[in-house]
Structure 1
Amino acid sequence: MSGSMRIPSVLWAHRTTYKNSTGETPFSLVYGREAVIPGELMVPTKCIHSFNESSNDEGLRANLDMLEDHREIAAIREAANKQKISKYYDKRFKPMSFRIGDYVWGNNEASRAENTGKLGPNWEGPYEVIGISAMQSYILARINGERVRRTWHATNLKRYYI
């Protein structure tokens, strides 16, 4: 086997591992059958002993005929899995909302005001909410009354308790 024909073992492991979201391996969704791993070629197994080329060709054709059905079933499973994950997330998600006059901290990473490094503060402020813009965006001002140039989304703010 030439160097260009070898598949790195990490890719092989990824392509032949069953995925929870689809219930299939990526290899089987592409080729319509399960891969024979190199270890099975070296160690005699039932699959290798019972190999018959003529029946294998018929089986491959049958698998290719069923390939679209397998892909549709995998797509349905993946959609159900995404819905399940979304339901789990939505159950624990608590949207943040602030009123005019509330004090908040701003996420330092979101503002990128200054690179404080690894040990720097994660939050900056406090700021006062002076206006509410569309889609959970807030207009802020510093404590001294100076207005902040841009609006901040609620996901980058947290309540400041005095």
Structure 2
Amino acid sequence: MIKSSNGDTPFSLTYGTEAVIPAEIGMPTLRTAEVDMVQNDESLEINLDLLEERREQAAIREAISKAKMEKYYNSKVRSTSFKPGDLMYRRNDASRAKEVGKLGPKWEGPYEVTEALGKGAYKLRDRDGKQLTRT
């Protein structure tokens, strides 16, 4: 069974019980041979009554898991920001100014930051004072 980060299978969160595969139905196993139908129906009703609570617990576990992954990711990321007047290089594949092939330079520049637009977007100009488009 494939389980997600919340510890339950999608089938069990939908229907309140684990699935029985067709191979288990045709071949007698302990799970299918000793089934009391009356008790089975009662336990299925109880599982359906408690299904919302299981879904809420699974959502809480999934949120905790996502927060843990986010914390790990954010601990490894270095944030950089540039102020107007700073010099920076720009990736060559971002501008597609010229096709240089795999042996060409990966970075082009230096460019001067003229304005910080936010979220890593900047207005740049080259050393000649010409404003760059799409930066």
Counterpart of 1:87 (choices 71, 76, 87) is: 71
Cα separation, 2, equivalents of 1:107 and 1:73: 48
Runs of at least 5 residues in structure 1 that lack an aligned partner in the other structure: 1-15, 152-162
- Whether 2:15 is the aligned partner of 1:34: answer no
Counterpart of 2:114 (choices 126, 131, 143) is: 131
TM, length-normalised to structure 2: 0.82
Cα separation, 2, equivalents of 1:139 and 1:106: 15
Cα separation, 2, equivalents of 1:48 and 1:122: 66
- 3-state DSSP of counterpart to 2:71: helix
Deviation at 1:60, TM superposition (A): 0.9
Q: Partner of 1:64 in structure 2?
A: 48
The Cα RMSD (Å) is 2.6
Alpha-carbon contact 1:106-1:127 (below 8 Å) kept: no
Cα separation, 2, equivalents of 1:129 and 1:143: 7
The verdict on how the C-alpha distance between 1:73 and 1:85 changes in structure 2, with shifts beyond 3 A counting, is: same
Alpha-carbon contact 1:103-1:126 (below 8 Å) kept: yes
The verdict on how the C-alpha distance between 1:67 and 1:140 changes in structure 2, with shifts beyond 3 A counting, is: same
The verdict on how the C-alpha distance between 1:102 and 1:66 changes in structure 2, with shifts beyond 3 A counting, is: same
The verdict on how the C-alpha distance between 1:107 and 1:71 changes in structure 2, with shifts beyond 3 A counting, is: farther
Deviation at 1:131, TM superposition (A): 1.2
Alpha-carbon contact 1:128-1:142 (below 8 Å) kept: yes
Cα separation, 2, equivalents of 1:53 and 1:85: 43
- 3-state DSSP of counterpart to 1:140: strand
Q: Partner of 2:90 in structure 1?
A: 105
Q: Which amino acid aligns with 1:75?
A: A
Deviation at 1:107, TM superposition (A): 5.5
Cα separation, 1, equivalents of 2:105 and 2:47: 55
TM, length-normalised to structure 1: 0.70
- Whether 2:58 is the aligned partner of 1:78: answer no
Q: Which amino acid aligns with 2:116?
A: S
Post-superposition, which runs of at least 4 consecutive aligned residues in structure 1 deviate over 6 A? none
The verdict on how the C-alpha distance between 1:51 and 1:114 changes in structure 2, with shifts beyond 3 A counting, is: farther
Q: Which moved more, 1:140-149 or 1:41-50?
A: 140-149
Cα separation, 2, equivalents of 1:87 and 1:39: 43
